[in-house]
Amino acid sequence: MATNRTFTMIKPDAVKAGNIGNILKMINEAGFKIVALKYTQLSKEKAGGFYAVHKERPFYGELVDFMSSGPIVAAVLEKDNAVADFRKLIGATNPAEAEPGTIRALYATNVGENAVHGSDSDENADIESNYHFSQTEIYA
Ligand code: DAT
Ligand code: MG
């Protein structure tokens, strides 16, 4: 399993607001290499499967509706300490609590529509990357 990779999505709110370019620039400037990239819209089924771990949470239905409401950008990113460094770059789940200068502080709408996803462990980075990309779509 790759320990230097993480998985991200630029969520529908940030895509709609025209922030794909701004966010990819921040990702590059923070030293991440983009090794896979896809512009796509998730079906409810695909979004629901991605967030299956949150199935019992009260916001699950809203989350699935939001994540399938418009196009997203999915990417696999490579860097030493990718998972932890990327979580630092995106900031807290709730943008009101995100450090100034983080992607969510700059571009998120609210706790539910928070601009970007970032994997929370090496194991999930691997699972999530494989959920969205085949091996031939990842350019190491
Ligand atoms: P993160 O995306 O920071 O890893 P998470 O895994 O706890 O956060 O939750 C996944 C997503 O679910 C999150 O990005 C937005 C949504 N979410 C989390 N907590 C929420 C809440 N209290 N109200 C509405 N949506 C929430
Ligand atoms: Mg999470």
pLDDT tens profile 15-42: 999 999 999 999 999 999 999 999 999 9
pLDDT in tens, 79-119: 999 999 999 999 999 999 999 999 999 999 999 999 999 99
CA of 103 to the centre of ligand 2 (A): 15
Using alpha carbons, select from 83, 89, 81 the residue that is nearest to residue 129.
Answer: 83
Contacts of 127 (CB under 8 A, 6+ apart): none
> Class assignment of domain 5-137?
alpha beta
Q: Which residues are found with C-beta within 5 Å of the ion, ligand 2?
A: 120
Three-state secondary structure call for residue 9: strand
Ligand 1, atom nearest to 87 Cα: 3
The pTM assigned to this predicted structure is: 0.98
Closest ligand to the CA of 93: 1
C-alpha distances out from residue 26 to 15, 18, 64, 95, 128, Å: 15, 14, 26, 17, 21
From the CB of 103, is ligand 1 less than 6 Å away?
no
CA of 118 to the centre of ligand 2 (A): 7
Contact between residue 91 and residue 102 where contact means Cβ atoms under 8 Å apart:
yes
Given pLDDT bands bounded at 50, 70 and 90, which one contains residue 140?
A: confident
CA of 136 to the centre of ligand 1 (A): 30
From the CB of 92, is ligand 1 less than 6 Å away?
no
- Active site residues per annotation: 117
Using alpha carbons, select from 36, 57, 23 the residue that is nearest to residue 126.
Answer: 36
Residue 98 to residue 89: CA distance in whole angstroms: 10
